[in-house]
Amino acid sequence: MSIIKILKYFFPYIRLLILMAILIFCQAYVTLALPDYMAKIINQGIIGQDSQIIFHNGGLMMLLTIGGGLATIGVNYLVSRIGAGFARDLRNEVFTKVENFSLVEINKFSIASLITRTTNDIQQIQMVCMMLFRIVLMAPLISVLATIKAYQLAPSMTWIMGVAVAALMFIVLLLFKLVVPKFNQLQKLVDKLNLVTREILTGLKVIKSFNKEKYEEEKFNKVNQDLTKLYLFVNRLAAVIQPVMTLIMGFMMIAIVWFGARQIALSKFQIGSLMAFLQYAIQAVTSFLMISVVFIAIPRASVSAGRIIEVLETDIKIKDPIKPVNVPKLGGKVEFKNVTFIYPDALEPVLHNISFVALPGQTTAIIGSTGSGKSTILNLILRFYDVTEGQVLVDDVDVRLMRQKDLRARIGYVSQKAILFPGTIEENITYGNSEATQEEIFRAATTAQALEFINELEQKFKSSVSQAGSNFSGGQKQRLAIARALAKNPELYLFDDSFSALDFKTDAALRNALRHEAKGKTVIMVTQRIGPIMDADKIIVVESGQIVGEGTHQELLKTCKVYQEIAASQLSPEELTRVEE
């Protein structure tokens, strides 16, 4: 059972759990002892007119009540502390696991589902486990001992408690059968709601620009309504427990008083004993009910626990080798040898028998149409995916033989979508090199052509960056992302269409500065535009996952039909003629 696997995360709190168990036993003792003292006060003190018994037993009841109250406070404190600590540790465990996921595992679960599992599912487990700690020791103990006590007082009336418990069990089992199958659906709908919400908020600008707010509202409302209906169904059934319990408890009390009064009339029972029996009966039936409620809550927690365990036990496809190779830094040479790659669950390979070499001191550009496999090549170098066939080598060593940390430490990567983090400009630039000096930060910003707009800000490099860099334009974010890669001072630069938001003037200035900054290092640029790569040392043309051309700009204009078509679509006839001449 998944919930059992999760319980191992409570092991660090074993001492607190033992202390809590002791306090719970104290609570149980107080709960069971008070009716006895009450019976003595009524039978011997009030009816027997013995004031000493009244004060003596009343004083003991007062002390026990105070002690029980303190024990309850202690139990609640410990339960809260253990529950909060457990949830914190489990969230850390899940987050650490997800951080180590490759893109294969990320795509398998989806980001929305991983967020739900890290938040909502762990919260469900925390709530149920806190309930378990309060009830799992207390309720069985009280139910058994209260039944024994009641039987000792009046064996002839214990059957009333049995009937009440049987009635409650029937209702609870019926609810159990109806509610439990809905819990898995409930969590899946929460996943779906998160997914839809994330999609809408991420694409809000597009939605507004096409006036599709109404359409997206309807899509959101549908998922929201489905979740609401399921919540209402589950909660309405769960809400039945309280009135049913009250009704059954009421009939039980009436029966006890009715038969108890007849026993008192026959002088076979005392009033104080009847009151104590009534208390024990209520305690026993309430405890049975609490146990039943826990059994209803456990399946929902079990569903959530199963989803968490699924994440924690997922086998990560991309792992570090047992005996990694320590590769000396040789300039970041990259070589693809007969590489074929197919995405998980895809029908056709996205790359077919790719082979090329990118040498230090050279700029290697990769160009092709959308979906041709350009970005996939960079993902394989970074080892976000592993090749299906062939080899990817960095400095003549297969990337699968290197530790991922060592491989990525020698790479400066700028993604297709510029990602910035909340903080300051300086913190974002030094994200890959926390030990970068002010001179290195300044040089990186200058090379990336970011210094001009940074100097216009009041706090310069200390200026704040909003979430996802929303307070900067697309071009400014790209330049800061490029500065971040430059400040890392790697031996291999990977640019994934990283100049798309720059104007031609800034683009040209950046490429000229980059040529000087990356001297002696390997630069690989992926792009759809010819402008940024016309002066590249080598251009690789990719079409439908295959290399269809390789050479300089001038050579490809003469020998590669695909490149000629791309050039004709982007360059004017005068520019083409000038280049050919």
> Which CATH number is 217's domain given?
1.20.1560.10
155 and 281 share one domain: yes
305 and 377 share one domain: no
144 and 206 share one domain: yes
Q: How large is the average pLDDT for residues 376-381?
A: 89
Q: What band does 116 get if pLDDT is binned at 50, 70 and 90?
A: confident
231 and 348 share one domain: no
pLDDT tens string 58-109:
888 899 889 888 988 998 898 888 888 888 888 888 888 888 888 888 888 8
The CA distances from residue 38 to 24, 60, 275, 301, in Å, are 22, 10, 8, 40
pLDDT for 314 equals 85
Res. 30: pLDDT tops 80: yes
Tokens encoding 548: 């269809």
pLDDT tens string 358-368:
888 888 889 88
pLDDT for 177 equals 75
453 and 343 share one domain: no
Q: How large is the average pLDDT for residues 217-237?
A: 83
pLDDT tens string 529-560:
787 788 888 889 888 888 888 888 888 888 88
118 and 188 share one domain: yes
pLDDT tens string 305-341:
888 888 888 888 888 888 888 877 777 888 899 999 9
Mean pLDDT of the chain: 82
Contact 293, 139 (CB under 8 A): no
Res. 123: pLDDT tops 80: yes
**Phi, psi (degrees; rounded to nearest 5) at 171:** -65, -45
Distance CA 304, CA 311 (A): 11
User: Hey, what long-range contacts does 155-161 have (CB within 8 A, 24 or more apart)?
Assistant: 156/259, 156/263, 157/256, 157/259, 157/260, 157/263, 157/277, 160/252, 160/255, 160/256, 160/259, 160/281, 161/252, 161/281, 161/284, 161/285
pLDDT for 512 equals 80
Neighbours of 536 (CB within 10 A): 21
443 and 531 share one domain: no
pLDDT for 70 equals 92
pLDDT for 581 equals 47
> Does the reported pTM lie above 0.85?
no
Number of domains in the chain: 3
Residue 430 belongs to domain spanning = 417-476
pLDDT tens string 470-502:
788 888 888 888 888 888 888 888 888 877 767
